[in-house]
Amino acid sequence: MAFNPKDYYFKKAKTENYAARSIFKLQEIDERFKILKPGYQVLDLGAAPGSWSQYASEKVGKAGKILGIDLQPIQLTISNASFVCADLRDLNLEETIETHGIRLPVDVVLSDMAPKTTGIRITDQTRSVELCELALATAEKFLKQRGTFVCKLFHSEEFEGFRNGLRSRFGRVEILRPKSTRKESKEIFFIATLFQAKTQGARKEGLTS
């Protein structure tokens, strides 16, 4: 069957005024694991075109705040969200977070980051793992105790190693392939909750329950 970008979820997203069909992946994750609540502070990594931030905005409400970061500009105006067009690796992220009014430590770090695919499977998988490691390092630095980390990975031989790494840092690690994922896609999502900081000295203010 030929690839059809304008499938059911594409049309549903357009009808409901979401920026992309990927909104339904986060929606399913949230409905299953209850990761977003009113007042939460959220980092959205790989945020373009903005559908995850749109969904998170509705869930965290007026008291919550979202900061979305992506290499691509995000053409959305959301009252409780700010967007930065930059390479995450080049940012002074702590300064950026504080500039945009996000309270530290944050409650949730979301990562829908994905490499620009080359069609070479091993290359794409390796780059996907590298982005997951970058997202995890960000979560370790800015996530509150017992906070939540969601990350997309292109399934590969690195799957178990990355999951074990998450298990050493979080009290619960689940995986999900959302129903809205295209059949040909190799992506899978990790949902890691109950973050446990590695060292007691790190971010003492954020390490109290």
The catalytic residue positions are 152
CA 196 to CA 204: how far, in whole Å?
A: 12
DSSP for the chain, please give it: ----SS-HHHHHHHHTT-S-TTHHHHHHHHHHH----TT-EEEEET-TT-HHHHHHHHHH-TT-EEEEEESS------TTEEEEES-GGGS-HHHHHHHTTPPSSEEEEEE-------S-HHHHHHHHHHHHHHHHHHHHHHEEEEEEEEEEEE-STTHHHHHHHHHTTEEEEEEE--TTS-TT--EEEEEEEEE--S-TTTTGGGG--
CA distance 127 to 25: 21
Sign of CA dihedral 199, 201, 202, 204: positive
Beta bridge partners of 43: 67, 109
